[in-house]
C-alpha cells in the first residue's frame, strides 16, 4: 500500500483486509490476501465521522444484525472494485 492514511479503521471480511478512512476519502482500499494485491473500494455514500469497527463473537441473534442478502451484496460490491494500479 503506497499511500498515506489518517484516522483509519480496518476490518477483515472474507479473506480481505479493508482499510477505511473515518472521513470522506478516496483512499479506501482492501487487500485481497489470496491474490496478494490492493484494490480500490467503491464509494461509501454515508457519513463516517467517528466511525469504528469491531468483532462480535457468539451473538445468539446475529442474524438480526446482518444483511439478509449478504451474498448478493458482496458479489455486487466485488464487481465494482477496481484494481488500484488502474487508477
pLDDT per residue as tens digits for the range 37-57: 888 777 666 667 777 777 777
Can you tell me whether residue 75 is helix, strand or coil? helix
DSSP assigned state of 71: H
Boundaries of every domain in the chain = 8-44+54-86
pTM: 0.56
Residue with cell 469497527: 53
pLDDT per residue as tens digits for the range 6-26: 778 888 877 788 888 766 555
Residue with cell 487508477: 87
- Yes or no: say if 76 and 29 are a contact pair by the CB < 8 Å rule: no
Amino acid at each position: 500500500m503506497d499511500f498515506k492514511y489518517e484516522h483509519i479503521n480496518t476490518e477483515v471480511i472474507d479473506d480481505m483486509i479493508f482499510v477505511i478512512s473515518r472521513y470522506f476519502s478516496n483512499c479506501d482500499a482492501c487487500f485481497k490476501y489470496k491474490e496478494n494485491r490492493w484494490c480500490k473500494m467503491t464509494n461509501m455514500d454515508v457519513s463516517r465521522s467517528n466511525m469504528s469497527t469491531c468483532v462480535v463473537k457468539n451473538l445468539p441473534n446475529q442474524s438480526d444484525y446482518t444483511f439478509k442478502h449478504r451474498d448478493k451484496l458482496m458479489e455486487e460490491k466485488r464487481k465494482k472494485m477496481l484494481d488500484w494500479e488502474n487508477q
